[in-house]
Structure 1
Amino acid sequence: MGLQGLLHKVESEGLIRGVSICRTRPCVSHLFFADNSVLFCRAKESECQVILDILSVYKKGSGQKSNRDKTNIFFSSNTQPDLQASIQQILGVPSIRHYEKYLGLPAFVGRAKKQSFIYIREHVWKKLQGWKEKILSQASREVLIKAVIQAIPTYSMSCFKLPKGLIKDIEVMIRKFWWGFSSDTRKTHWVKWERLCSPKEDGGMGFKEIEKFNEALLAKQVWCMMNNPDSLCFKVIKASFFPNCSILEANESCWFLCMEKHP
């Protein structure tokens, strides 16, 4: 019996309980990706001890040992500090904050959504600062904007809907770089940004409108879910936003929430 089988066994016996946002949604006790594992249980000392026992049994049976140096624990905001300390002592691993990243993306996105993705803005800013002092033609700036700057947020946008404030900040930096800027002067922007984002055959430069590109990437994810109705992701989102109809029959607000909340 593998690790997944052991987790299913103790969950069926009621020894641990995974995460479920509401009664109609699937209860998730674990997620596996490559050699990474994310385990869920209630903030109870008994359940944490069960997790430790499972990992010990799995280690003896498979010879594989969890890497404690790369293991962390995350508590919900309503977990009491003394209980957090007790559980940390049992598990022997440190806790993490909201904005830690996993596979290059925020593991947790709270209400301060812009702060969760501030690393994108910082990455764009650092790139532009490195090019600011160089003498670049408009053709060179076009290539750098399309091939580098507008590619930076693509990976994050394929999974999350970025805050409008963050998108605006990035586009402001791109516009300044396109028209030229320095620390004490601002050059005239001769054409509206919307016009620059139109195709070249229509008189624009073909730059991407980041917000619309973000929505297109998320719509692609929705299409992937439609073609994989047995996936855990689809089951959770269906139970959340369109439990009594298909995704194509869902109203506009459901579509928006699907893209907004897609994991």
Structure 2
Amino acid sequence: MEVAALLPNIVSDECNSHLLAPVSNNEIKSSVFDLGGMKAPVPDGFPGIFYQQHWAIVGDVACNAVRMLKTKENGSFKGLKLSRPTPAINNVLFVDDTLLFGRATMKEALTIMEIIKKYSAATDKRSKYKYLGLPSFWGRSKSKALQFIQDRIASKTQSWKQKLLSQAGQETLIKSVLYAIPSCAMTILKFPKGVCNQISSLMSNFWWDIKEKEKKLHWISWRKASQPKTKGGLGFRDINLFNEVCLAKQCWLLLNSPNSLWARILKGRYFPHFNFWEASPTRKGSWIWNSLLTSRDILKEGTRFNISDGTKTLIWFDPWVPTLQDFRVVRPNHRPSHINLVLIS
């Protein structure tokens, strides 16, 4: 303290007050517009030009995120960790929605309420508490958790049946509207077969113009109608296969984006010491995690190793040969035991 007293005051009280003042929306906007448009993207993956061209839409969310990060740095909002190896989560931004995560403590609850209060006062908007098209909580019954999807499809088809639609119009509505309703949930959840069959039944009844509690002949099965037009079908999607493909796509994203937030959380929670191919389902695994594993085998059928130095590739077991159908070497019936240790270089 004695040494500090001898040092001259370079920063005036007025300047210090200005530095300690809360960051304004104009300051955040000015900093964003100073970013190079096509330079390296920010941590959320978007380059500067995205925020600059769409500031009228995402500006409020971006400003709110900056204030939340500032609060996190102050230590009053530490966020939530699902397990020790996983990164802490305090907020997730999705389009114009912000999800806040925190521990069940009075301190963090008050901090979250203070953030919402300041944001509402600064933007003159009231915060809305909602979810992104999926139930926030569900019980043991997966069918009941997904009932809202069946209800939405039934509501759509019932309203359309009151109109005089050609079959071409019905086909367009099924492919462009009805298939879009469960698509979001299907990217992360494996639907029970009963739910898939019920959704297919609702679409089939709408296609054959069958009203509620009415019986009418289906001239061809829905399975036949779900075949490509080149094979005599009508080009509709098989709901169960569509679900598996959506999940397989998420598995591919998980493999190709290991540093993304959701990939790091899943790895820390379910396979901290293995890779995704070696992970196995667990009794305590979430519905989302076990759903991803059900479609992992689809990727295995068409995935092979891209050989570099070969230090991690076993020639007799791993898929690595691009010219073979299943990418695996045809193993002889008798081979020396030491061959298992041979690696491709």
User: Normalising by structure 1, what TM-score?
Assistant: 0.68
**Aligned residue number for residue 185 of structure 1:** 214
Alignment of 1:1-263 (within 5 A): 2-11=66-75, 15-33=76-94, 36-52=97-113, 64=122, 67=125, 69-72=126-129, 100-102=130-132, 105-106=133-134, 108-111=136-139, 112-251=141-280, 257=290, 259=292
Q: Distance in 2 between matches of 1:172 and 1:16?
A: 48
Q: Distance in 2 between matches of 1:219 and 1:128?
A: 29
User: Cα distance 1:165–1:20, how it changes in 2: closer, same or farther (>3 A)?
Assistant: farther
Q: Is the CA contact (8 Å cut-off) linking 1:241 and 1:258 kept in structure 2?
A: no
Q: Is the CA contact (8 Å cut-off) linking 1:160 and 1:260 kept in structure 2?
A: no
User: Cα distance 1:218–1:53, how it changes in 2: closer, same or farther (>3 A)?
Assistant: same
User: Cα distance 1:28–1:132, how it changes in 2: closer, same or farther (>3 A)?
Assistant: same
User: Normalising by structure 2, what TM-score?
Assistant: 0.54
**Aligned residue number for residue 79 of structure 1:** none
1:159 shift after superposition: 4.1
Q: Distance in 2 between matches of 1:109 and 1:53?
A: 25
Alignment RMSD (CA, Å): 3.4
Q: Distance in 1 between matches of 2:128 and 2:176?
A: 36
Q: Distance in 2 between matches of 1:126 and 1:55?
A: 35
Amino acid at match of 1:101: Y
1:136 shift after superposition: 4.5
1:36 shift after superposition: 3.9
**Aligned residue number for residue 87 of structure 1:** none
**Which consecutive unaligned segments of at least 5 residues does structure 2 have?**
1-22, 24-65, 295-345
Identical-pair percentage: 30
Structure 1 SS opposite 2:93 = strand
Q: Distance in 1 between matches of 2:207 and 2:128?
A: 44
Q: Which of the pair has the greater relative contact order for Cα pairs under 8 Å at 6+ separation?
A: 1
User: Cα distance 1:232–1:198, how it changes in 2: closer, same or farther (>3 A)?
Assistant: same
1:214 shift after superposition: 1.7
